[in-house]
Amino acid sequence: MTRAGAPIIVVGGGVAGLATALALAPRPVRLLCRANQGSDTASALAQGGIAAAVDRADSSDAHALDTLVAGARHNDAAMVRWLCRQAPAAIGWLEAQGVGFDRDAAGRLQLGREGGHRASRIVHAGGDASGAAITRGLRRRAQHAWHIQWRSDVDVQALRLRGGTVDGVRVLDSRGRRHDMDARAVVLATGGIGALFARTSNPAGANGSGLALAMAAGARLRDIEFVQFHPTALDIAGGHCLPLITEALRGAGARLQDGPGRPLMAGLHPLEDLAPRDVVARRVAQAQRTDGGAWLDARDLDSDWERCFPTVLAACLAHGIDPRRQRIPVTAAAHFHMGGVAVDADGRSSVAGLYAVGEVACNGVHGANRLASNSLLEGVLCGRRVGESLARLPRSTVPAGAHHWVGRGAELPPAESAALRDLLWQAAGPERDAAGLKSALQTCAAWRKDGWQAQLAHCLLTAALQRDRSLGAHYRTDAT
């Protein structure tokens, strides 16, 4: 195949990559990811669902306002308005792809409520198994789409640049073989960075490897200090990637408590347990330090656990906790990256031929803090927008001349990786200050030559130090 006829390469088999690949039809697409059946995607783990103002009493303007308030108005307001207006149509599109959302006896969509939303507008599927249902539906479509060629056992390790334009990728397959592939354009849909922190709700592969590739290619990054911490992951001693305890449980009446059983959020915020995630996450972290731990009491819940919360029930039981009879120990955990590769509304990065979409990208829609359940929505809508815009890319123009490869570089050795995760958690977790950030930067600087993860962490710490005021999820205890 000539380079002019090369496929568009989409890296990532989560909701953003799948939506992009489907929307590219009829252009040939090569979809690359690391694991089969979406087992390494954050998308498949999503519990709460997908936000959309579908109720008559609700409106896309109200959804947009809640998004802007959650994002501390650091958002791109035009992107927010676009996303919220398109949300009901995204639900319709997902249903057309075979995703069955939960409905009541009258056939109406069941709507949940999560922190920061002033209306019930979270559409869900399979109770708290929404992400699994959505990715299963999209995966089936993609597997039957003739324009998509799928490889699910490869790690993309380098990008090829020719005349300043990205026109290929180098991958390592599961048998340790290297392959170089031509690309008409490359779309990174590689997810977030939660796994760089000691405690996370993300899968282990969400370590920012796509972000590191974009950095190596010289792409501009944006807002990378903004990381959302979820207040309620299951607190497993020594655990790194922790099961999430969905906020929908608090929406259904579960309450946070400290060790002796006192309400954790009483008097702290008008919305108490459903206050914005950063507020609750900081209180949970504080209770872990000083009040005998943080617990979620869901024992009095008037819900059918098997139908409404099968994922949480199974995760708790697997760790010897029956949430119907016992309080659930919880911890704050790195959950969502608002920052990422700086892109425009069509996913274009600052490097020609390189695009980004989903959690790895930053188009400004989430501002300084993401509103709950807006990210699956972003993955679907922005994925489709990027795919549709790339489908119009002329086939003929390809850059000429010599090429060179830019890669992430060496991996940090396991012991240093674990130390880096602790370092980031302590210095750039739910609470940050200049002294902690400066000291972490010094340690990190010494590790930079040993692995790309330390280089990425160095960038995040630098951005967090430079932003010397609290904003959204970035909380500076020394300058609030």
Ligand X SMILES: Cc1cc2nc3c(=O)[nH]c(=O)nc-3n(C[C@H](O)[C@H](O)[C@H](O)COP(=O)(O)OP(=O)(O)OC[C@H]3O[C@@H](n4cnc5c(N)ncnc54)[C@H](O)[C@@H]3O)c2cc1C
Residue 312 in contact with ligand X, rule: CB under 6 A = no
Residue 257 in contact with ligand X, rule: CB under 6 A = no
Interface with ligand X in residues 126-145 (CB under 6 A): 130-131
Interface with ligand X in residues 399-418 (CB under 6 A): none
Q: Which is nearer to ligand X, 42 or 420 (CB)?
A: 42
Residue 436 in contact with ligand X, rule: CB under 6 A = no
C-alpha angle 299/300/301, rounded to 5°? 95
| Residue whose tokens read 């207040």 | 231
Min dist CB 376 to ligand X, Å, is: 3
Q: Which stretch binds ligand X (CB under 6 A): 38-46, 282-290, 433-441, 458-466?
A: 38-46
Residue 363 in contact with ligand X, rule: CB under 6 A = no
CA 256 to chain CA mean position, Å? 25
**Is 56 marked active-site?**
no
Q: Give the chain's count of helices (H) and strands (E).
A: 13, 19
Residue 336 in contact with ligand X, rule: CB under 6 A = yes
Q: How far apart are CA 453 and CA 462, in angstroms?
A: 14
Q: Which is nearer to ligand X, 157 or 389 (CB)?
A: 157
Residue 32 in contact with ligand X, rule: CB under 6 A = yes
Q: Which of 243, 220, 161, 212 is nearest to 11 (CA)?
A: 212
Residue 49 in contact with ligand X, rule: CB under 6 A = yes
To which H or E segment does residue 442 belong? Answer: helix 434-447
Interface with ligand X in residues 168-227 (CB under 6 A): 189-191, 201-202, 205-206, 209-210
Question: Residue of minimal CB distance from ligand X?
Answer: 14
Residue 148 in contact with ligand X, rule: CB under 6 A = no
Residue 387 in contact with ligand X, rule: CB under 6 A = no
Q: Which is nearer to ligand X, 172 or 445 (CB)?
A: 172
Number of residues that bind ligand X (CB under 6 A): 44
Residue among 40, 58, 102, 235 that touches ligand X (CB under 6 A) = 40
Q: How far apart are CA 294 and CA 300, in angstroms?
A: 18
Active-site residue among 139, 222, 277, 476? 277
Residue among 9, 10, 15, 457 that touches ligand X (CB under 6 A) = 15
Q: Which is nearer to ligand X, 368 or 437 (CB)?
A: 368
Residue 67 in contact with ligand X, rule: CB under 6 A = no
Residue 376 in contact with ligand X, rule: CB under 6 A = yes
Instruction: Return the beta strands (E) in 139-261 as ranges.
Output: 148-151, 154-162, 165-173, 178-182, 185-188, 221-222, 227-234, 255-258
Q: How far apart are CA 163 and CA 403, in angstroms?
A: 7
For residue 319, give the amino acid letter: H
Q: What tokens appear for 189 in the block?
A: 């849909």
Residue 20 in contact with ligand X, rule: CB under 6 A = no
- CB contact at 8 A, 87 and 53: yes
Cα dist from 269 to 279, 303, 397, whole Å: 8, 26, 56
The arrangement of strands across the sheet holding 165-173 comes to 178-182, 165-173, 154-162, 403-407
Residue 50 CB partners (closer than 8 Å, separation 6+) = 87, 90, 91, 94, 122, 123, 124, 130, 134, 373, 376, 377, 380
Residue 453 in contact with ligand X, rule: CB under 6 A = no
Residue 166 in contact with ligand X, rule: CB under 6 A = no
Min dist CB 436 to ligand X, Å, is: 25
Residue 106 CB partners (closer than 8 Å, separation 6+) = none
Q: Which is nearer to ligand X, 16 or 23 (CB)?
A: 16
Give the residues lining the site for ligand X (CB under 6 A): 11-17, 32-35, 40-43, 45-50, 130-131, 154-156, 189-191, 201-202, 205-206, 209-210, 244, 336, 358-359, 373-376, 379
Looking at the annotation, which residues are catalytic?
277
